[in-house]
A = this chain, B = another copy of it.
Amino acid sequence: MRTIGLEDIDDIALGSSLLGSGGGGDPYMGRLEAIAAVKEHGPVTLLDVDEVPDDWTVAPICGVGAPSVSLEKGTNGIEYPKVRAMMERMLDTKLDAFLLSEAGGMNSMVPISAAARAGLPLVNADGMGRAFPGIQQDTFTLNGVSTNPFVIADEKGNCTVLYTIDNDWTERIGREITTASGGQVTTLASPMTGAKMKTSVVKGTVDYAQKLGRIIRTASDAQGEEPEAFFLRESGAMRFFKGKICDVLRETRDGFNFGKVTLEGIGEDKGREAVVEFQNENIYAEVDGEIVATVPDLICLVDSETFVPVTTENLKYGKRVLVVGLPCDPAWRTEGGLELAGPRWFGLDVDYVPIEELAARRTDA
């Protein structure tokens, strides 16, 4: 058990943005809201998974929508008490703690704000170990946890409760509600006992994000080492490419951001070209026509100097970035995990190969 104070928020936001793999929302707005919430209500208690009593009722809280919308349409403050009150009414029991639904810039901050304002603890875990576009693409679904009741609140004051026949239907209906509400909403869903949670989450997400954030923040001041080498060694990230963004195709459609970014190599990658495709999150990366990574592994674009992650809604012509990868949680490499979040779920006509294996093949060649 520890607390999340003002001094922890920046690193958590920064590191979560890396785990967000281009998605999970820009941390800017979420960070401001979390700082305001902790300033007003004090630090948030962070419980490790094993510290949560088995009979507690816990549930993940997050923002859902197109990240590009969240840049302009923030929360109102009424969403958190509204979704919590509705969840407790539907369950006829009090909620004991919040979880993170995913690791992402905005969605690491929403649970901190909600926990601070509600005076509830936060569990050091999430349902993805990264960010994914689909509501049902989480380890809760993988472990048979229903989203019911899926509670949605928008900043206008509308509140919806969904009981669906399966989590795919939650995505279908929930996405339409998100679109009707203006493209960005707050959700609280998938309530579960502490016991069920322990076998259904990716553990230690907040700690891991904070560690990655610290690495990013301190890389530029690394002693006796090139910042890039320090960042890669400390984070364990795999380097794919360094380049300048020369083309961005982007479309906000059906409640998602879809697109593709093309990079021309700089430095040691001069003369080469990379392409990264995304659906909210980066889902595919190739260098000179060769696949270097696909979902569910993490594909991250970071500023080439500061290593600050660049979310897909912030991709801009001329920006210099490093394309790196991190292996996903082992849960995503199982048959069920790949069915729910593998390349074919995203419409990519390729089989999944872990990034370590793809790298080994390149070294062999």
Tell me, rounded to whole Å, the shortest Cβ–Cβ distance linking A198 to chain B: 29
Against B, the Cβ 8 Å flags (1 = close, 0 = not) of A225-243 are 0000000000000000000
B173 touches A158 (CB 8 A): yes
Interface flag for A179 (CB, 8 Å): yes
Chain B positions within 8 Å of A180 at CB level: 172-173, 175-176
Could you tell me if B158 and A162 are in contact, using CB atoms closer than 8 angstroms?
yes
Q: Are B156 and A165 in contact (CB under 8 A)?
A: yes
* Cβ distance A265 to chain B, nearest Cβ, rounded Å: 43
Report copies per complex: 2
- Check: A169 CB closer than 8 A to any chain B CB: yes
Task: Enumerate chain B residues within 8 angstroms of A161, measured Cβ to Cβ.
Answer: 160-161
Our pick among B157, B160, B172, B176 for the contact of A165 (Cβ within 8 Å) is B157
Is A156 a contact partner of B176 (Cβ separation < 8 A)? no
Q: A323 at the A/B interface (Cβ < 8 Å)?
A: no
| Partner of A169 from B156, B162, B165, B176 at Cβ < 8 Å | B156
A-B contact pairs, 9 of them (CB 8 A): A156-B165, A157-B164, A158-B164, A158-B169, A159-B164, A160-B160, A160-B163, A173-B177, A176-B176
User: Contact residues of A with B, CB < 8 Å?
Assistant: 86, 156-165, 169, 172-173, 175-177, 179-181
A-B pairs, top 8 by smallest CB distance, nearest first, are: A176-B176, A176-B180, A161-B161, A157-B165, A173-B180, A159-B163, A158-B164, A160-B162
